[in-house]
Chains A and B, each alone.
Chain A
Amino acid sequence: MIYHQVMIKKSLLGAAENVGRFSLFVDRSYRSFFPFPPFSHMFKDLYEISVRSLPIIILVSAFMGIIMSYQLIYELRTFGAEMYVGGIVAVAVCRELGPVFAAMILAGRLSSGIAAEVGTMRISEQIDALEVMSVNPLNYLVAPRLLAALVMIPMLTVFADAIAIAGSYLVAGKILHIHILKYIDNIRFYLDSLDILSGLIKSMAFSQIIVVVGSYFGYFTQGGAEGVGKATTNAVVVASILILVADYFLTALFFG
């Protein structure tokens, strides 16, 4: 009994320590924005986040739209409402599925990549080298990525939304023989600016979670290659959880 109490207390203290350390890291990361990172330094991150992530985003979004369309047409037929599939898909994708799916994919791709790169830099003393050269490691490693993600991830999300809607039309057009203009008209009727705006704001928040969580786990990596592996796994898991938690609060804020 005492053993369990001690273990619970230890776990709670450990969790509190991690939350405190993470909060301090976030605070220090945003304070490190000045002096502003040079654009040339951000270019690699912009490229990595956008161009390199695009194929997987296209693939997943297209399938998301296609599958949703199939499912919805099947269900909506019961009520004779299958013609509304375009509007329903567009609202669901722009408000929720587009930003969340894109963020989840990017958490897997970017959070893990950042954690592995920063973690390797930590264990090979490259971060120490930056500090000795009076370079703030957060300004050099985290700030450019935060900015690049803030610009690129909402753009990728818009792209993901468009691809999902286009994928959905492929199915709707084939099964229901809806003309594309009618399909777009249906989307315009149901989709309003708040749906798109809320999705964009969500993707901005998710972009910061993806970068900051990956950087955090990389920055505090310990214990060689095994430590880098753990940091990478933890970064993806924690970023995914935080994205869903943030999604809940933001949804409640916009539509609650």
Chain B
Amino acid sequence: MIEIRNLYKSFNGKAVLKGVSLTIEEGKVTTIIGQSGCGKSVLLKHVVGLHNPDEGEVSVDGEVLKDLDDEAMRLCRSKFSYLFQGGALFDSLTVWENVIFPLVWEGGRHHHYDKRILQKKAAETLELVGMVHVESLKPSELSGGMKKRVALARAIVHNPRYILYDEPTTGLDPVMSAVIDDLILTLNRELGLTSVVVTHDMQSVAHISDEVCMLYDGKIIFNGSVARMKQEKNSVLQQFIQRENKGPIQFGQ
């Protein structure tokens, strides 16, 4: 279980998170929605210790991240996978080398495996995300959507317990978005992975979420199921989910 308690974070004097508290339960798909630039990705990065909070704390399975030494942090991070917004594939490696990277560098140490076994594993994992015959390409030869799918393959290759998705369907066509949504659900339902998804895609939210929370003005203003979200009276939430340009959320806010 991931617990975020009273999290505050500012960048250059600008407060992004203003006391966020959230519990992410094991085995569920939790989606975080909110305007662009409201701090969703920042919140996600706190969960894996890529950002340190100004105040508050994050704990994973009872371990408070800020109290962990380097070795303990490495162990804690090995439970996670993170799908970055732009994919964050390593430019100098081929697609298959990118996919098997978490296996080769498991626990922060380089391991030697049979190249053929690794290539086979990479091909199998890539097939899961609808990518075939791209193993030997470099990331610069892929489109944005393809990069994201390769990054997703890299995220799932080492069977993590928690997967954090930063806008997994942005830049993908509707069919591929549906494939990715189904994949998130499959990983969750069949392997019991806990997923945290940051997204703007409300169709995707309705399809995959067990829990939805909305971040607005640095705080969580809603946390509940999809059914509850639709009935919620909060005008900010309703404006957001109904895609209205008039309401409490102002353009450029």
List the interface of chain A (C-beta within 8 A of B). Answer: 35, 37-38, 41, 44, 120-121, 124-126, 128-129, 131-136, 139-140
Contacts and interface: CB of A to CB of B under 8 A. Distances in A.
B91 interface: yes
B108 A136 contact: yes
A132 B50 contact: yes
A35, A128, A132, A140, most chain B CB atoms within 10 A: A132
B86 A124 contact: yes
B228 interface: no
B59 interface: no
Interface string B19-34: 0000000000000000
Interface in B71-96: 74-75, 77-78, 80-82, 84-86, 88-92
Given A41-B110, A128-B50, A133 B88 contact: no
B109 interface: yes
A135 B86 contact: no
Contact of A129 (B74, B88, B92, B112): B88
A37 B90 CA distance: 17
B102 A133 contact: yes
Nearest to A120: B91
B196 to A, nearest CB: 13
B45 interface: yes
B88, B89, B106, most chain A CB atoms within 10 A: B88
Interface of B: 45, 48-50, 74-75, 77-78, 80-82, 84-86, 88-92, 101-102, 105-110, 112
B49, B86, B105, most chain A CB atoms within 10 A: B105
A125 B85 contact: yes
Contacts of A35: 108-110
Given A35-B110, A128-B84, A133 B91 contact: no
A135 B105 contact: yes
A129, A133, A139, most chain B CB atoms within 10 A: A133
Contacts of A131: 48-50, 77
Contacts of B75: 134
Given A120-B91, A125-B86, A126-B90, A132 B110 contact: no
A128 B45 contact: yes
B75, B86, B102, B108, most chain A CB atoms within 10 A: B108
A73 B81 CA distance: 67
B74 A132 contact: no
Q: Report the 8 A-B pairs with minimum CB-CB distance, sorted nearest first.
A: A129-B88, A125-B88, A134-B108, A134-B74, A132-B82, A125-B84, A134-B77, A38-B110
A111 B89 CA distance: 23
A103 to B, nearest CB: 25
Contacts of B110: 35, 37-38, 41
B243 to A, nearest CB: 28
Contacts of B92: 44
Contacts of B84: 125, 128-129
Contacts of B109: 35
Nearest to A129: B88
B77 A133 contact: yes
Given A128-B45, A128-B50, A129-B82, A135 B108 contact: yes
A35 B77 CA distance: 18
Nearest to B111: A38
Given A37-B110, A131-B49, 4 more contacts: A126-B90, A129-B84, A132-B80, A133-B108
A37 B110 CA distance: 8
